[in-house]
Structure 1
Amino acid sequence: MTDRFVVIGAGTMGLGIAYVAAGAGFRVDLVEVDAGRASAAEAALRRLWDAAVARGKLTAADADASRARLTVGGDVAEVAEEPAVIVEAVPERLDLKRDVLAAAEARRPALLATNTSSIPISELSTGLRAPDRFLGLHFFNPVWAMALIEVVVGPATAPAAAEAAVTLAGRLGKDPIVVRDMPGFATSRLGVTLGLEAIRMVADGVASPADIDKAMVLGYRHPVGPLELTDLVGLDVRLDIARTLHRAYGDRFAPPPLLESMVAEGRLGKKTGHGFYRWEGGKRQ
């Protein structure tokens, strides 16, 4: 496997994947067509490396070496051909992902992956010339702290590609699980179930968001409650996933009206400063 790693999309997940890949020794191209988002991602990555040095997680020399391995660009067509892996990490919209994956495949990666958390690999592979090299690599937020990665094997994914993905996960410092290609896979299907029910509980006036979260943290030993997690993931992302699962499995995944109205109002969670909680300076208030 070569040492070139491409990430397409510089949102929360994309920049996290790029950060981890650069730290694992890959030369990383982070592709983002939106100049403002690209600039924000570069600033966020600088803060991550500075914070890691301040906490003693990295030496200054190691942080500088990781920075030097990362390049931010705006066009996947400008990425050099035949990288080891390309990971698509754009928003959860089927048409957008298909377009991005087609452009990525033209760069002839050894392994092509999507970071989707809910869309079936079989649907995303439509139109690809080499679907045997394509699979899901579902990372978790924050990428640098979460050990789990889902390797999602599509119906056309070759065994060698799945093996390469498991090997890649190890190099990135992740602990993989291998799952079949089903809507929501394993983690989103379970996690969204809990998150949607917690939102319905808020709408029903069962308890405050803070108390609902406290119940799961103290009663079930979850590291973070389902509503705070929804704020961290993004309410718009949760809504997209819920809609995908609703189409696949029926009304048990129907998006709660409260979730739809909050997204319509622009209350998307941490990234907008307001979701189920207020956020300032990246911290819950």
Structure 2
Amino acid sequence: MQTTGSTAITTVGIVGAGTMGNGIAQACAVVGVKVVMVDINDAAVQKGLATVAGSLDRLIKKEKLTEADKTAALAHITGSTNYDDLKAAQLVVEAATENFDLKVKILKQLDALLAPEVLIASNTSSISITKLAAVTTRAERFIGMHFFNPVPMMALVEIIRGLQTSDATHDAVHALSTRLSKTPITVKNAPGFVVNRILVPMINEAFFVLAEGVASAEDIDAGMKLGCNQPIGPLALADMIGLDVCLAVMEVYLQEFGDSKYRACPLLKEMVAAGRLGRKTGQGVYKY
């Protein structure tokens, strides 16, 4: 079995220049890791690069970065529409939309293209790492690397080991996460991993409390902010995540665990059916 040994990761490939992809690119570039960020068309790539530049500008305004730091960071990112450009990387992170079939298509393409010793990670927030690893010929060099949004600000990375992931793969990705000034936690492959497994059922329970008329939405959120020291209440957070996303996650848990404690709140289902999905539609639990 080939493993990576202790080679430091100096170049990272990223598939997807969207919110997560460009955030990961920025986190790598500011610490001097070279990045090749690939997307399906040039418009998507340019939008991703512009997002990184804008994010760096905000950090300059807050005096967390200098103009020279921004120039250096942007020089570390190469945008491309050609998968062949990923061959320079020791690790490629798939950061495409949360869709199993799409991820499988991308992973098979990467597996065929990259040298056998290159590591592949998925930034999935819910799909089984063991299942994704199995579609490649390098299951022991496949891992989950779940960043949180917004990536440049959020310190956490969940490192998810599939059943087949080797220690060397885990250690290389753990070391990279630390270099990115992130705090990695190691997680076994399981639906929702750690954070979403705890968070989304909590949000679902807040909808049950709201539906039962125990308290108003404002009071539920105030209670959790002040009583549990959360920066944002669960219902306001649901609006931010998207009520449709929360519902989809609960349905995955119910299906995967077969445990009725994961049943989605009828009020959550009804609001999604009404198209009240949160901030992105202008109304969820709250109006925007």
User: Is TM (by shorter chain) over 0.5?
Assistant: yes
Q: Which runs of 5+ in 2 are unaligned?
A: 1-7
Residue 17 of structure 2 corresponds to 10
Q: Deviations over 1:63-98 (max 9, x none)?
A: 1111222233334x2323141211112222221211
SS in 2 for 1:80: helix
Residue 231 of structure 1 corresponds to 239
- CA spacing shift, 1:222–1:69, aligned 2, 3 Å: same
SS in 2 for 1:81: helix
SS in 2 for 1:138: strand
Q: Deviations over 1:209-230 (max 9, x none)?
A: 3332221111011122222333
1:81 matches 2:90: no
Offset at residue 255 of structure 1 (A):
3.0
Q: 1:11–1:37: 8 Å Cα contact kept in structure 2? A: yes
Residue 101 of structure 2 corresponds to 95
Q: Deviations over 1:210-264 (max 9, x none)?
A: 3322211110111222223333333343333222212112332233344445445
Q: Which runs of 5+ in 1 are unaligned?
A: 280-285
From 185, 190, 193, the equivalent of 1:177 is 185
- CA spacing shift, 1:239–1:90, aligned 2, 3 Å: farther
Residue 31 of structure 2 corresponds to 24
Offset at residue 55 of structure 1 (A):
0.2
Q: Deviations over 1:187-216 (max 9, x none)?
A: 111111111112333344443433322211
| Alpha-carbon RMSD | 2.4
Offset at residue 132 of structure 1 (A):
0.5
- CA spacing shift, 1:36–1:201, aligned 2, 3 Å: farther
SS in 2 for 1:79: helix
Alignment of 1:1-285 (within 5 A): 1-33=8-40, 37-75=44-82, 77-108=83-114, 110-249=118-257, 250-263=259-272, 267-279=276-288
Paired residues in the alignment total 278
Residue 283 of structure 1 corresponds to none
SS in 2 for 1:104: helix
Q: 1:148–1:177: 8 Å Cα contact kept in structure 2? A: yes
For residues 203 and 73 of structure 1, what CA distance do their matches in structure 2 show?
48
For residues 62 and 195 of structure 2, what CA distance do their matches in structure 1 show?
30
Q: TM-score, normalization: structure 1?
A: 0.87
For residues 210 and 71 of structure 1, what CA distance do their matches in structure 2 show?
45
Q: 2:53–2:70: 8 Å Cα contact kept in structure 1? A: no
Q: 2:224–2:233: 8 Å Cα contact kept in structure 1? A: yes
Residue 4 of structure 2 corresponds to none
For residues 272 and 21 of structure 1, what CA distance do their matches in structure 2 show?
32
For residues 93 and 57 of structure 2, what CA distance do their matches in structure 1 show?
25
Bigger Rg over Cα: 2
SS in 1 for 2:192: coil
- CA spacing shift, 1:221–1:26, aligned 2, 3 Å: same
Q: 1:239–1:259: 8 Å Cα contact kept in structure 2? A: yes
**Percent identical residues:** 39
For residues 268 and 29 of structure 1, what CA distance do their matches in structure 2 show?
34
Q: 1:85–1:111: 8 Å Cα contact kept in structure 2? A: yes
Offset at residue 36 of structure 1 (A):
5.4
SS in 1 for 2:68: helix
For residues 274 and 44 of structure 2, what CA distance do their matches in structure 1 show?
21
- CA spacing shift, 1:82–1:238, aligned 2, 3 Å: farther
For residues 206 and 270 of structure 2, what CA distance do their matches in structure 1 show?
16
